[in-house]
């Protein structure tokens, strides 16, 4: 312990992780408030501006740390930090776009039928197809479905899952198992995204007396 902050084996403080979480929570709350009122063109303009300016700023501030982490992962190459930050900009601005259409369609209301889901789904899938091309590994899912078998997907924690998962779900039934959040805004945003992306979702409180209850719902 050091001034109330814990450190990992490498001597780095958990303060950075805590700060990141607080910033992301603040971004999400702001996004939920303003996204329904943003024209698509404004989100596109923000994306274009941030892809240049925030990416350059991020390379200057975070570049050394990102390169260190890429080297540790054996994935360092010229331009890796810049491309990572560019993808992060796409991730967050695409999140704004999805929230805009999901919240405008009332998809964050747990008590209401998601009648606006088809309209929002069209927007999300159109965006996803502009961002992502699914490769031949999709045949694994199709083969499993043909044999009436299920598949557990355990992907890496990477950018573009906001658009990638809806694109996969357009080809194969997909249920997302999400960590339950105590924060209401976080839960609303997750539900809205899943409904807009055509995803079934499991995000329930854990039950200490029955730890297998949530996984059992996936059976």
Nearest alpha carbon to residue 35 among 78, 94, 99: 99
Tell me: the pLDDT tens digits for 24-76? 888 889 999 999 999 999 999 999 999 999 999 999 988 888 888 888 888 88
Nearest alpha carbon to residue 207 among 194, 217, 219, 195: 217
In sequence order, what DSSP letters do the residues of 77-119 get, joined into one string? -TTHHHHHHHHHHHHHHHHHHHHHHHHHTTTT-TTS--TTHHH
The Cα angle at residue 102 between residues 100 and 106, in degrees rounded to 5: 115
Decide: 55 and 85 in contact? Cβ < 8 Å: yes
- Going by DSSP bridges, is the β-strand pair 175-177/200-202 parallel, antiparallel, or unpaired? parallel
Which H/E stretch holds residue 171?
none
Identify the residue with better confidence: 95 or 77. Answer: 95
Residue 4 confidence (pLDDT): 38
Tokens 């899938």 locate to: 125
Domain of 157 in residue numbering reads as 15-216
Distance of CA 154 to the CA centre of its chain: 14
Residue 156 confidence (pLDDT): 67
Residue 62 confidence (pLDDT): 86
Whether 159 shows a pLDDT value over 80: the answer reads no
Tell me: the pLDDT tens digits for 142-156? 888 888 877 777 776
Is there a domain that residue 8 lies in?
no
Residue 206 confidence (pLDDT): 64
Residue 211 confidence (pLDDT): 56
User: Average pLDDT of 101-118?
Assistant: 84
Q: 3: burial class by Cβ within 10 Å (0-12, 13-18, 19+)?
A: exposed
Integer Cα distance of 177 and 1 in angstroms: 34
90 CB neighbour count, 10 Å cutoff: 18
Residue 75 confidence (pLDDT): 82
Integer Cα distance of 51 and 73 in angstroms: 25
Give 212's DSSP letter.
T
Phi and psi angles of residue 12, each rounded to the nearest 5 degrees, phi first: -90, 145
Interacting residues of 153 by C-beta distance below 8 A, sequence separation 6+: 168, 174
Residue 2 confidence (pLDDT): 37
Is there a domain that residue 82 lies in?
yes
Q: Is the dihedral of CA 210, 214, 217, 219 positive or negative?
A: negative
Residue 212 confidence (pLDDT): 60
Average pLDDT, the chain: 82
Nearest alpha carbon to residue 178 among 218, 129, 119, 141: 218
- Banded model confidence at residue 20, pLDDT cuts 50, 70, 90: confident
Domain count for the chain, please give it: 1
Identify the residue with better confidence: 94 or 111. Answer: 94
Q: Which two tokens stand for residue 18?
A: 């805590």
Interacting residues of 170 by C-beta distance below 8 A, sequence separation 6+: 125, 128, 198
Is there a domain that residue 2 lies in?
no
Is there a domain that residue 7 lies in?
no
């Amino acid at each position: 312990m050091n001034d109330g902050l814990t450190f990992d084996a490498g001597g780095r403080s958990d303060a950075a992780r805590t700060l990141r979480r607080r910033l992301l929570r603040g971004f999400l709350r702001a996004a939920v408030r303003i996204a329904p009122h943003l024209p698509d063109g404004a989100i596109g303009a923000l994306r274009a501006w941030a892809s240049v300016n925030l990416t350059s700023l991020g390379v200057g501030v975070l570049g050394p740390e990102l390169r260190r982490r890429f080297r540790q992962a054996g994935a360092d190459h010229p331009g890796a930090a810049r491309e990572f930050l560019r993808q992060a900009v796409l991730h967050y601005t695409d999140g704004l776009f999805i929230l805009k259409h999901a919240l405008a369609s009332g998809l964050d209301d747990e008590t209401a039928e998601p009648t606006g889901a088809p309209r929002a789904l069209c927007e999300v899938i159109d965006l996803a197809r502009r961002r992502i091309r699914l490769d031949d590994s999709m045949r694994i899912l199709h083969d499993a479905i043909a044999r009436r078998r299920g598949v557990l997907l355990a992907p890496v924690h990477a950018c573009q899952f906001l658009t990638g998962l809806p694109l996969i779900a357009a080809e194969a039934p997909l249920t997302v198992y999400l960590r339950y959040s105590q924060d209401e805004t976080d839960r609303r945003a997750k539900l809205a995204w899943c409904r807009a992306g055509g995803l079934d979702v499991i995000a329930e409180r854990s039950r200490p007396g029955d730890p297998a209850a949530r996984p059992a719902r996936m059976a």
